[in-house]
Every structure is written in C-alpha cells, then in structure tokens.
Structure 1
Amino acid sequence: MVISVHAFPWDVLGDDGFVDRFAQTGADAVTLAVSYHSTRAATPLHPTRRFVDARHAALYRPVREQAWAVRRLVPQAPDWTGTDDAAGEAATALRAAGIAVNAWIVLAHDTRLGLLHPDLTVLNCFGERYPYALCPAQAEVREHCVTLAGEALRDLPVDGVSLESCGQMGVAHIGCHEKTDGAYSPLVQRLLSICCCTACAASWAARGLDPEQVVAALRDAVRAETPLPEQTASALLAARHDATADMLAEVLAEVRRHAPDAPVTLHGHPDPWAVGPSPGLAPKVLPLVDRVLVPCWPTDPATAGLVSALAERVIVDAYVTVLPPTSPDRLSEHVARLREAGATRLSLYHLGLASAAFQPLLAALTKEFRS
C-alpha cells in the first residue's frame, strides 16, 4: 500500500513547515507538479502568502532555448515563483529531507499555446476550437509533449513519474467562469469531444471514412441527441486511441531516457470514450505503463467500479481529494471501498491546498487505506 500526496512547487518553497506536515500525513511520497496548467491556487498554511495566481500553463524547470529552438510550441516560464527552477529546487529540498518525489507532468493541456496556435487544438464538428486542448493527433503536439517531458525530468532525480492529460481533452473544461455545466447530456458531450482537426480527419480517411460525411453525421447526432452508428463510432474511437498510444509511446521513450528506473503512472479512465486530464484507456496502452491513476473524487459507491474495472489488468492508484465539495464524513468508507475494489495505491489531493481543518483527513485516510 503506497500512498502519495500532491503538491505544487510553491507549496514547498519558502515553507519550513511543509516537511513536518508531510510527515504527519504518514504518506510515502510527494507527487510534485513539474509542468502544470494555469490555476489560481490557495496556500492556506504558507507563512508568507495565501494565493498563487499561475496565469498560464508553465514548465517549472528552466526553459532552455536550445531545447525549444525552431519549435512553434514553446512552454512559458512562470514569473510567480521567483526562480526558473521551482520544481527542481522543491524536489531537492524534499529529497534532502528523505521524502520520495514523483514528477507530475501535465502534457496536452495548455490554453496559452492553444490560443497562439489554434490549428493544433481540438476542433469540434461545428468548427469550434477548444484552446485548452492540444490535439495528440497533431505531430507537433506529440513532439511538444515529448520535449516537455524530457525537459521536466532533465537532471532531476525522481522516484516516479505521473503523466496527466496524455491524450485528448474534451468539451468540459473547469475554468474561465464555466457556464456549460449541465447544458449538454453525457451523449452530446461525448459527440462534441470528438476532434475534427486536419490530423484527425486524415486518420479517419485512412480508415475508409469520408471526413465531410463524418462531420455532418456528428452535427446531426448532436442536434438530435442520438448516437453515431456503431461502425463509425468505433472507427473514430480507434483513431483517437491510436493517436494517444503513439504520443504515450514517444513520451515514455523520453521519460525512460531521463529516469530509467522511475515507475510511470498514467492518469487514465476505464471508459474508453473519456476525455480530459484522465483520458480513456485503450487496451494497448496498459502494458506500456507501470500503473494507472484512476479519478476517484466522487465518494458514491459507483466510483469503486472504476477501480474494479482495471484492477485485474494493471496496478491501480486511486486518486482521492479531501477538498470540498467532498463530504469528509464519507471519505473513510470511500477509501475502504476503493481498497476492496482492488486499488493498491492511493494518491491524495492536495497537501498544499488543504487548510488546517483538512490536514487531519490526509492522515486519517492514509491510516484507513493501510488498515
């Protein structure tokens, strides 16, 4: 039973109490963000601040010109950390305290780059772009993610690697005062999450589909709220899975070049149509990784089914949050169900975001999972 807690570099830097709070959780490792999307983060227990406004996605390692030369997709360094190697410095501090560190790398979720290069983003069947979603079917996106992973891990000793958004983001995106929640049924959200960019269309054509007919069929299905024909849907899903698998294989080659002994965890979902930070898993990607981090934030009993769907095929790491709107009184039984469903690892979100009132939950869940 291995347990990790998530954190941002700014949670560690400038806070001598972070190591003590980690020790109180009883966890085994910190999963530390090394590249991350834009966020406004609370820092309730930091001695000098209460918020960090990370205005754009950033690489929290040095952005080296020689690594990114002649590329269109170039990550931006953060100007809110006071250092160009916040993740490196935080990892060094943690390891000096005897704490294992997993590198948390977010790959294809970057609104700033999507706005600068819309042709590389997910395009729905109505011609609307999702700027936060770089499409893995695009060769430039895959190359970007490979370089991003390599630069995140360059000269950074780590005990594990956690890959988020290694696949397609979809229609849902929490941010920017989101006003789409509940507007579309799950079926329509699935249809609107099918990318129709040039690279995806070329992949459809290679499978014998007419891209114009596919786009028209998608629009009709959205308007009528009806599923696509099974044969068409299967071909589109296969195209998405192939692009994701190609990107994962390329990223893993780079990850293992820099961290050959570090086990790799992939954020993924057993629903093959799932999109977002934890995209749907194609069967052929499971042998490529050491374990899968399954999103288990909802505390209802059905969530355990996500774990049991994968537990016989891969090591499952259950991803649980202690933060609202989670009900604290339901978390203990929730974690027990996940363990019984086959999860052998637990990742807790989030040591840096949890206030003093929520810190004891981290320790309680660690104890429950190991009981």
Structure 2
Amino acid sequence: MDDDAKECQYEDPTFFKSVRNYFREYCQCTSIHGFRYFGEKRSYIERAWWFIVFSLVLAGCVIAIREVYEKWIRSPVIVSFATKETPIYSIPFPAVTICPESKTSQALYNHTAMFRKKLMMEELTKEEQRISDYMGLICTNDGYEDSDVYYFSDDFYNTIDEFKCTFPFFYCAYMRKVVDCSELFIPVITDEGICYTFNMLDRTEIYRDRVVQHSDFLSMGNTSANEWNLDDGYGPDIGLDAYPRRALLAGADNSLTIFLLSNRSDLDYTCKGALQGFRVTLHTPMRIPRPSQQYFRVPLNQEVLAAIRPDMILTSTSVKMYNPKKRECYFPQEKTLKYFKIYTSMNCKLECLTNYTLYYCGCVNYFMPSKRQYTKVKRMRYIAMIVLPRQ
C-alpha cells in the first residue's frame, strides 16, 4: 500500500512541481547559451551569476530593438543609390530666372533724383509721388521712409512694366543653336520686381484658375508641358522639341549661353545698393522663383560659368502605405494647394507665407498669388502689400 501511494504521489505531482520539471527539461534542451545552468542542481551563487548575465544580455537586446524601432518611426523610408544611371535627357533643363539690379530706365524714372528731392523736402507732383511710391515697393535700399501707410490703385503692375529697363539680353544660344532671346525668356513677377525666366511652365500650368493673373507675365502662349509631368517625366515617343526643354547631352556644348547688357545710364545705386549687375536663380520649371532669397550674382563686365549637378530621387509606390507624417513627404496627388496645381516644397512654403500674411495683415505681398482681384496696394514701413477684404 505504501509503495502504491508513493507511486500515485509521483504520478500526480503538484502544479509547481510540474512547472519546475518542465523548466528543467527546457533548460536542458534549449540552445540558448547559459540557460541550462538554471535547471541544474548548482549552488545559488552560480545560478545567480548566470541569471545576472542572462538579464544583462536580454536588456541589451531590448535596448537595441527599441533603438531600431525608434529609428524606423523617425525615418521609415530608406534612401539608397540606384543600380544604374539615369540619362540626362530624362529630366528637364533647369529653369533660369534673371533679374536686373537696375529696376527702371533712368530716362523714364530716376529714382536717385526722386530720393534726393524727398531728402531735401522738395514738393513732388502727384504723378511723381505715385511713381515713387510704386517703385518704393521694389527698391529696398533708398534709406528713406515715407509716411506710414499708402494705398495704391491696381495699376502698380502696369507702371513697373512701363518703366522697366530695356530687354537686357543681347545674345542667346541653347545647345549650340542661336535662338532669339525673346523666344527663350519671358517676363515674370517675382519678389525682385520684373525678371525674365527661361524654361518655366506656363502660369496656367502652375497656378489654379482662381488665381488672378496680370498682363502677360509668365505667359508662354501656345507652349505647354503636355509631354511631361512630375510623376512620369517625359513620354517614350516624344521628340526633341518637348517642353520643358531638356539637354540631350552633358557638357558646355549643350548648355545655355547668354550675353547680358546693362546701359550705363540706367545704373541706380539708391534702389538696390552699390552692387550692380544681375541676379540669377536656378530652379525647377514648376516652382515660383524667389530671387531675393536664392541666387548667384553676375557682375558687370565679367564672365560667369555655372555647372549644374542634378540629384534625382525616385520613390517606390510601396512608400504610399506609410502615413505622410511618418515618411515626412507627400506625393503630388496627396496634397492639394489652394493656389498651385503642382505640389512642391517651395510652392507650399510660398503659399503658407501668403496665407499667414493674409491672416495677420489682411493683405498679401505684390508677388504672392491671390484668388481675388486686387483692389489696393498697401505700403507700411517698407512692406509692400496688396489689400484684400476679409471674408
């Protein structure tokens, strides 16, 4: 009877004894190094030592996994180099925007003489005051502050267009072919006044229909970018005359060459400062340039060479599965702008600046897009604004 009772007791162990037996069996069979010492009958000191070692290793693994997870949260998209090169003719030639530092023809408007009259407290006629106020929106170095607030009519753009300098281009060649400069460069309104741009998209392809346009600025006529888009690039069967223009080969022989002229009589050092010449901005064809922020200078009587090294980033469609907040970027179809048809980082920043200015000032700067017909222009302590009524 005693033997049978002992056998039954052995065959029906308690719960804790079963767990201990399974744990010892697991320790003997597992491939985890050092784990088998937990189940063996060893001293408590030795067991404690191996437990500490195992805990440290486990903690290190948890920390490493956490760092990898946090890195994935911060930047889930990995940028890698392509396995093959991209031909240069698959991307557009950059847009080139050129802004003369001389803003007016001195025969039509002499800003230095007008500044001298103001400094000497001489009385101006209404016409002189009107033109001076208009040009004061563009000139930033006259060192003279008029009355606090001015309100202008909507002929601001017509006035600066009427008094601008003569067309500054003397010679133009693209890919070793001499071209009429007026066919390459068209006038555009920027934060530096009237500039001239090459290879930009037409204003109807950049701005939405609700945006008010002025005169023929940034108007390409019948030229459109039907054979190119931001997602797919150029089509497979397009010809050599596709727009935006592209360079078929690299090197100086396939470059854009221009000669710029500036009349000595039109130099004005009170409008933009002592440095005369031209500002040149290189940008993508679908982006509105900001020559006051990003440019390189072309001085007078000098030759300037600019080499361009494009960086092209292709995004896999599998990236769309991630939330834009995690991947920190948008596909063009995911973000709709109020003023622009094409989403780019710089267009988005310009729109944000426009909305911010409109919200806090009730007006926008003269070069900013607007969905309403301009009513008045406001100048307040060197800030050129276009007044818009609040909704």
State TM-score, norm by structure 2: 0.27
Q: Specify the structure having the higher radius of gyration (Cα).
A: 2
Judging by fraction of residues, say which structure has more helix: 1
